[in-house]
Structure 1
Amino acid sequence: MEKEIEPIKECSQAILAIHDVMDLLSGKWKVSIIACLCYQKMRYSELLREVKGISGRMLSRELKELEINHLITRTVLDTQPVTVEYEITEYGSTLKNLTSTMAEWGMTHRRKIIGK
């Protein structure tokens, strides 16, 4: 009987871990920001241009949350005017496989539903 409980416990732990990820990456923008930064460091204005539809205020908020969670770093460069660059951390780069898998699945799903 104990062997039947183990898969349920394992499933519960997996669901809890998935909820943690969903809470961390909640919203419409964080995954897109992380995906951009997995390929190269970017300035604030580049991210604003690349992440279509995000407002400046929302980008600032999302970047702060990602920095708090140690997924990105913020570097202020000594330039005129001041330039701020964002870069994925080593810890944050562990999400690259996740974002790639999501992108591949999304393209497959789009082709299936839309037929393109």
Structure 2
Amino acid sequence: MTRARLDDRRTIRRDGVPLHIEHLMLGPATFESAMALGDGRAFATIVLTGPGAEDAGAAVHPCDPVATGVRQETSGWDGRLIVRCMSPDPAALRRVVISAIVALRGADIPRVWQSDRSAEP
């Protein structure tokens, strides 16, 4: 493959009012630019909304980018929590994302994620 484009739009509404709108567009220039993704080959965004979500970030353990190879940033405000992660290693990213999801849910990862249990932390 020599060219790719991803155009993804997500909207989360609360009582019909947009709470989180995200438009992700990646094209050939994005993949060629060190400013856009740097060495990142995989990235993920976790969004949690609801009463107290802004305080749930304490449950998500910050990962050590040197030890895990994953850069992670967490922001919480007004009933929402956003966790963004990026890594040159997709498997390392998956382990960090699974750990964050388990911490936020207080339960095992969703069934759809359980197809490859060997990649869990």
TM-score, normalising length: structure 2: 0.23
Instruction: Considering fraction of residues, name the structure with more helix.
Output: 1
Q: State which structure, 1 or 2, has the greater radius of gyration over its C-alpha atoms.
A: 1
Higher relative contact order (CA 8 A, sep 6+): 1
TM-score, normalising length: structure 1: 0.24
